[in-house]
Amino acid sequence: MLVVDDHPLTRAGVTALLNQQPGVHVCRQVGSVAEALAAVRRSPPDLVLTDLEMGPRSGMELVRRLHAERPRLPVIVFSMHYDSIYAERALRAGASGYVMKSEGPARLLEAVRHALADAEAPVSPRRPAVPCARRRRSPSSATS
């Protein structure tokens, strides 16, 4: 998973939260749209979690570009914006989900689990391998 937010403290907190979850692993965290695009092109994650407001280039631009380049890559937007128009725009741009930062950790984790489960659905054999951050094996699956 890739976490994208221009606030280092937010990135670190979200990464720590997600890495505590069984079967979830953040492989990289970046602070800009340009860094996110480069990271995805270099080593595609299984999910991108992005903020909307990130300086001169917005998370909405990132959602659009990722959807155009990798339409099956799940992207969840997490934002401080309460207005439903932001969620509608993000979903129309290709986001898999939208979570307000005020909703708390449980809602974010629910959205991540849902997006990862949807990404596991059978797809065309032409879908590229995802080398970055395949979900960590849980202790029970590591022994099988």
Number of domains in the chain: 1
67 or 132, greater pLDDT: 67
Q: How much of the chain exceeds pLDDT 90, in percent?
A: 63
Q: Which residue has the higher pLDDT, 136 or 69?
A: 69
CATH at residue 111 = 3.40.50.2300
pLDDT tens-digit series, residues 71-82: 999 999 998 888
pLDDT band at 84 (very low <50, low <70, confident <90, very high): confident
Q: From the CB of residue 119, how many other CB atoms can be counted at a distance below 10 Å?
A: 17
Residue 59 is part of which domain span?
A: 2-142
Residue 110 neighbours by CB distance under 10 Å: 13
Question: Contact at 8 Å (CB) between 32 and 8?
Answer: no
Q: What is the pLDDT of residue 62?
A: 95
